[in-house]
Structure 1
Amino acid sequence: MSASDNSRPDLFDRALFARRRTRALARAGAEPGIDFLLAHAAADLGERLAAVSRHLEIAVDLGGHRGHLTDAMTASGRVSRVIRADIFLADPATPGCDLVIDDALPPFADASLDLVCSALSLHLVNDLPGALVQIRRTLKPDGLFLAALLGGDTLFELKDALMRAEMEISGGAAPRVVPFADTRALGALLQRAGFALPVADVDRLTVRYSGMAGLVDDLRAMGAASVLAERSRCPLSRAVIARASQIYAERHADPDGRIRATFDIVSLSGWAPHESQQKPLKPGSARASLAEALADIEHKKKDPGEGPS
């Protein structure tokens, strides 16, 4: 059963994603540091967890390939047990995976977890609203959800260069970079899924390369190349790739000639509702109206009182 809505086609090819993830894991084991983006996101989530003022018993690292997030969660000192649940396959490079699951359908009982964390995984599920509802279902009352997703203007420079080059040479452009949700929309999805006290913020990373080829190689190494279901099956011609590299250098380079690649990492947090949590006041429950407050301010301006004698 898929988490996606059967009435609409899937946006992402999850089978292709699984194959590319397998290759990326094998390469990451041979080339330490190639998964720098995931390591950064996991470290940030660990810091956010360390700032939580309570202890959480049972936690899940959802989609925890490479073990970076599990390590960060453990180091935070805020959890007793971390269950590492990898996507589709056990990580051959770093043993220690407890479960092999699809992160779109976490197979945990209702209200069984105190914490769910996910790093750079959920932006590639076909039904993110549904996945958030499923995560919310697994949390105990007052349980915490923390996640980092790629969003916003991620890879807008690459998208711009490829589109312009393909339009110029081929007369049309196929989608080559996956779409990313903006921070406000992701925060709204938390509310829609039933999370209390939802927070969404963005951390922008700018990574520089000597050229577009270096960026594309890193994306492939991370398993982050496009997995769009409606992607073109025809590889880009050498002419388009060469022109795209030229456009990228012309439009998105620093004075020293190195190109920029933007990664917007959107951090999400939300709590399963509980009666102890702060709640907004009900409409009409305020003891003073805005009109009264403004009238009082205006009165004080007109009658400032006696000055110093």
Structure 2
Amino acid sequence: MIDDRLVFDRALGRSRLRRALAGNYPDFLIQRAAGDLQERLGAVLREFPIAADLGTPLPVVAPVLAGKAGTVLRMAEAEAEGGDGGIVGDLEGLPFAAGSLDLAVSLLALQGVNDLPGALIQIKRALKPDGLFMACLLGGRSLQELRQALLEAESETTGGVSPRVAPFADLRDLGGLLQRAGFALPVIDSETVTVRYRDAFGLMRDLRAMGWANSLTARRKAPLRRETLLRAAALYAERFADPDGRVPATFEFVWLSGWSPHESQQKPLRPGSAKARLADALGVPEIKAGEKPGGEG
């Protein structure tokens, strides 16, 4: 029996990722995320004795952490043929002891777990006090054009629909999950990365080659009909093509960061504990509650 709570067929996802790694396909999205990570970590003025890369499909994190971290442990969910000496593990069951990491990083992997709240709690547990977590995952606007085209095309050609694109998490939900997991000083932001293709088939080829083909538990097991694929490509071009005829594909990169709580971290002041008046700092008269500007009661 299939558990209805499981959004992703994780075994199938790992199998497809292994096949993609064997094909040595250059995942340009992960390379982009690695470049962004380097820029973001550059603003953190400290070093991390023990860091871990959690599930990033390619070994791109360690070079970014060179000079920033003493030891970098890599946990991959799928191993390329021959391996690279890292740990093969599971983002939903981390193989790290509590309080063992100073830094945890994950690039474009957490959007594929079934229990994201649980994964975040485990990551926070693995961090030492004042340890940093930083991750990039795909957000809700990712592949919105492909999702719309496939749903409408399948409805037209078969009279029904099957989920074809993953339901990526919403930005606002992710912020709440960080807080629920117990992270201090949580920060969340997003950026849109647009990749342009000659047609929708080029996008679909890239997604398969990167191991990102449909691994939803509720997917229809039969492959898409040829007429459905052709109709989806036509709809994609009609709705979204740029003036030069090329079609855009949207990927929303959501960045999460948070710290394991520590007494040294900055905390908000208690209401009423301020020792200076805002009016004095601004050099203006103070208007008390109930008063009107100009001194009128």
TM over 0.5: yes
State the secondary structure of the residue aligned to 1:48. Answer: helix
Residue 294 of structure 1, CA deviation: 4.9
Runs of 5+ in structure 2 lacking a partner?
279-284
5 Å-filtered alignment, 1:125-144, equals 125-144=113-132
User: Are 1:49 and 2:41 an aligned pair?
Assistant: yes
Q: Distance in 2 between matches of 1:61 and 1:261?
A: 27
Q: What corresponds to 2:72 in structure 1?
A: 82
Cα displacement (A) at 1:198: 0.4
- Note the C-alpha offset of 1:26: 1.1
Unaligned runs of 5+ in 1: 1-5, 304-309
Measure, in 1, the Cα distance between the counterparts of 2:277 and 2:37. Answer: 41
Distance 1:243 1:173 in 2: 14
Paired position in structure 1 for 2:282: none
Q: Is the 8 A contact 1:57 1:81 kept in 2?
A: yes
Look up the equivalent residue of 2:12 and give its one-letter code.
Answer: L
Distance 1:294 1:238, change over 3 A: farther
Q: Give the 3 Å change call, closer, same or farther, for CA 297–220 of structure 1 in structure 2.
A: farther
Give the alignment of 1:263-302 within 5 angstroms.
263-283=251-271, 285=273, 294-295=287-288, 301-302=293-294
Assess if the C-alpha contact under 8 Å between 2:48 and 2:68 holds in 1. yes
1:117-144 CA-to-partner distances (Å, cap 9, x unmatched) read: 0000011011000000000000000000
Cα distance, 1:273–1:8 mapped onto 2, change above 3 Å: farther
Q: CA deviation at 1:298?
A: 6.5
The residue that corresponds to 1:3 in the other structure is none
Select the residue among 146, 170, 174 that pairs with 2:158. Answer: 170
> In the alignment, does 2:229 pair up with 1:250?
no
Instruction: Kindly provide the amino acid, as one letter, of the partner of residue 100 in structure 2.
Output: S
Deviation of 1:24 (Å): 0.6
Aligned to 2:197, which of 209, 220, 232? Answer: 209
| Matches for 1:61-76 after TM superposition, within 5 Å | 61-74=53-66
Deviations 1:278-302 (A, max 9, x none): 1123355457999x96548975x42
Higher mean C-alpha displacement, 95-104 vs 138-147: 95-104
Q: CA deviation at 1:196?
A: 0.2
Q: Does the 8 A contact of 1:142 with 1:274 survive in 2?
A: yes
**Does 1:117 pair with 2:105?**
yes
Report the Cα distance in structure 2 between the residues aligned to 1:124 and 1:241, rounded to whole angstroms. Answer: 24
Pairing 1:25–2:14 present:
no
Residue of structure 2 in register with 1:146 after alignment: 134
Contact 1:58 1:79 in 2 (8 A): yes
The one-letter amino acid of 2:80's match is D
Q: Secondary structure in 1 aligned to 2:60?
A: helix
Give % identity.
Answer: 53
TM-score (norm 2): 0.91
* Mapped partners of 2:176, 2:275: distance in 1: 29
Shift of 1:7: 7.8
CA–CA distance in structure 2, aligned partners of residues 237 and 98 of structure 1: 40
State which of 47, 54, 59 in structure 1 corresponds to 2:51. 59
More helix by share: 1
Give the aligned residue type for 1:272: S
Q: CA deviation at 1:98?
A: 2.1
Task: Pick the aligned partner of 1:16 from 12, 31, 39.
Answer: 12
Of 97-106 and 9-18, deviating more is 97-106
Matched AA of 1:249: A
1:307 corresponds to: none
